[in-house]
Structure 1
Amino acid sequence: MTIYYCKGCNRCLNLSDEYLFPPNAYFDAGNKGTLSFSAVDKTDFRQKEDNSCFPFFETLDSWGLQRHRTKLTCAACGKRLGYIYYDGPYAEGGIGQYGLGHTQMIPRHPRYRLKREAMRISG
């Protein structure tokens, strides 16, 4: 069993490997040094909206202009641990090529992307 701690204050983050996305998931292809989870214990994190406008790759044949994300920090020490992105698996059936559609047009589950360098991992 893997245990994840905040590197800033050594607090256990109560993350479960059961909710860890596989490293070859479509949204983690270029995200080296991070781990993505489908769920976290929200009492261990603080959240702050951090939306920005810039071009980003959205699907196989589409680009977006605004990326919605939420900053995640440790609830104890305030160290930035990662972000919540709203580009996880579809909440409903997908549309478009290969079932992929524009992330801002169809509801998707959140993806909690945490930096390995911000955590101490044991086990």
Structure 2
Amino acid sequence: MAIYYCRGCNRCLNLSDEFLYPPNTYFDAGNKGTVSFTAVDKTDFRQREQNKCFPFFETLDYWGFRRHRTRLTCAACGKKLGYIYYDGPSTEPGIGGGFGHSQVIPRRPRFRMKREAIRISG
């Protein structure tokens, strides 16, 4: 089992392999240099909401224009670690295989950490 640390201050981030998204999940294909989790212990992070209006690729056949995400920084040293994106599986079972446009279908959060900001051991 891997242990994840902040590269800025070496604090353990309490991230669990149990909550890792599979490596071939569709949204991780274009996110090289990151690792995504379905859940994290939010007490280890500071959060700041960000809303941006720009085109972004959301699914294989859909482009979005308003991206909602939350910036995650280390609670101890403030180093930027990644973002929370709201593009995970649907919160309503049986809809579109669990995936679809986030503006239409309510989605679970995806916690995307930058590999350059975390240290992985084990």
TM-score by length of 1: 0.93
Q: Please show how residues 16-35 of structure 1 align to structure 2 within 5 Å.
A: 16-35=16-35
Residues in 2 aligned to 1:23 and 1:100: alpha-carbon distance in whole angstroms: 16
Residues in 2 aligned to 1:64 and 1:110: alpha-carbon distance in whole angstroms: 17
Residues in 2 aligned to 1:94 and 1:103: alpha-carbon distance in whole angstroms: 12
Residues in 2 aligned to 1:39 and 1:50: alpha-carbon distance in whole angstroms: 19
Cross-structure match for 2:54: 54
Q: Which runs of 4+ in 1 moved over 3 A?
A: none
Structure 2, unmatched stretches of 5+, are none
What amino acid sits opposite 1:54 in the alignment?
Answer: F
Residues in 2 aligned to 1:12 and 1:82: alpha-carbon distance in whole angstroms: 15
CA deviation vs aligned residue, 1:43-93 (integer Å, no higher than 9, x gap)? 000000111111011222221101110000000000000000000011113
> Is 1:45 paired with 2:45?
yes
Give the length in aligned residue pairs: 121
Cross-structure match for 1:86: 86
Residues in 1 aligned to 2:52 and 2:107: alpha-carbon distance in whole angstroms: 19
Residues in 1 aligned to 2:2 and 2:100: alpha-carbon distance in whole angstroms: 34
Structure 1, unmatched stretches of 5+, are none
Moved more, 99-108 or 80-89: 99-108
> Is 1:105 paired with 2:95?
no
Q: Compute the displacement of 1:100 (Å).
A: 4.1
- Residues 37, 100 of structure 1: alpha-carbon distance in 2 compared, 3 angstrom cutoff: closer
TM-score by length of 2: 0.94
Residues in 1 aligned to 2:70 and 2:98: alpha-carbon distance in whole angstroms: 25
> Is 1:15 paired with 2:15?
yes
- Residues 100, 119 of structure 1: alpha-carbon distance in 2 compared, 3 angstrom cutoff: closer
Tell me the percent identity.
78
What amino acid sits opposite 1:9 in the alignment?
Answer: C
> Is 1:3 paired with 2:16?
no
